[in-house]
Structure 1
Amino acid sequence: MIAKVQTLVLDCPDVLELARFYQALLGGEVNRPDRRWSLNDDWATLHTDGGVLCFQRVKDYLAPRWPDPAYPQQFHLDFEVEDVSEAAAKLRELGATVLHEDRWIVMADPAGHPFCLLRAH
């Protein structure tokens, strides 16, 4: 092993809005003091039991448009949930949108990043 994942950084137009969205989804603490990062209007963090997500403000941010390759998704996250429909409803209330429904639901966070809700095994 050469390295291990420290965090996942998501580009977005509003760092606190996206940090709070993922806090509602995953729990955790927004902008906990951490010697690794300086917190400001362009950078926010979310410390969770599963690790750290970071949010970086990007000027002139362009959201992905799944599944349009002209606006690639850049990354996506898969989240395991007990009830896919119930989780999707709660996330819509928080500003997420549904992109596709099948055996799982593909959603976009408020900044347009796609993610999937999968039924827990």
Structure 2
Amino acid sequence: MKIRRTIIVFDAADIDAESTFWASLLEGAVEKEDDWHSVYADGEWRLGIQLAPDHVAPRWPDGHPPQQIHLDLYIDDLEEGHRRVLELGGRLLKASDKPGSPDEFVVYADPAGHPFCLCRAPQG
């Protein structure tokens, strides 16, 4: 079996808000269908957003329903990333434990409540 493409798909009750958030954060675009949105960045399909009217956001870190998946996004400037996530409607879940360290990360939730991390990109 040869896997030709792997796409992460997020469930969301409001797929417009969810796809707009991710397309803006990834500096991409949204292709919309009725109950499915595809997010493209740099000309590549990056994420799918599926309509799930009864979606219940996970409660991070150890609530009900529990987190089942999250993304780690490695970036050069965590302060800029922090501002951008909040501007787009994301929420801070956990500030950095290790400010300035090479393995620093910050945890956020997207508009549908899915947790994700902005991580300091390795230098060099």
Q: Is 1:48 equivalent to 2:41 in the alignment?
A: yes
**Equivalent position SS for 2:38:** strand
Offset of residue 82 of structure 1: 1.2
Q: Is 1:100 equivalent to 2:90 in the alignment?
A: no
Per-residue CA deviation, residues 67-89 of structure 1 (Å, 9 max, x unaligned), is 12422112100111111122111
- Amino acid across the alignment from 2:39: L
Count of residue pairs brought into register by the alignment = 114
Q: Kindly report the root-mean-square deviation, in angstroms, between the aligned alpha carbons of the 2 structures.
A: 1.7
**Equivalent position SS for 1:60:** coil
Offset of residue 109 of structure 1: 0.4
Offset of residue 2 of structure 1: 4.2
Aligned partner of 1:14 in structure 2 is 14
Q: For the residues of structure 2 that align with 1:84 and 1:97, how far apart are their CA atoms?
A: 15
Structure 2: unaligned runs, 5 residues or longer: 97-103
Asked if structure 1 preserves the Cα contact closer than 8 Å seen for 2:25 and 2:88, the reply is no
Q: Is 1:109 equivalent to 2:110 in the alignment?
A: yes
**Equivalent position SS for 2:82:** helix
Structure 1: unaligned runs, 5 residues or longer: 33-38
Asked if structure 1 preserves the Cα contact closer than 8 Å seen for 2:29 and 2:41, the reply is yes
Question: Structure 1 length as normaliser, TM-score?
Answer: 0.84
Q: For the residues of structure 2 that align with 1:59 and 1:17, how far apart are their CA atoms?
A: 13
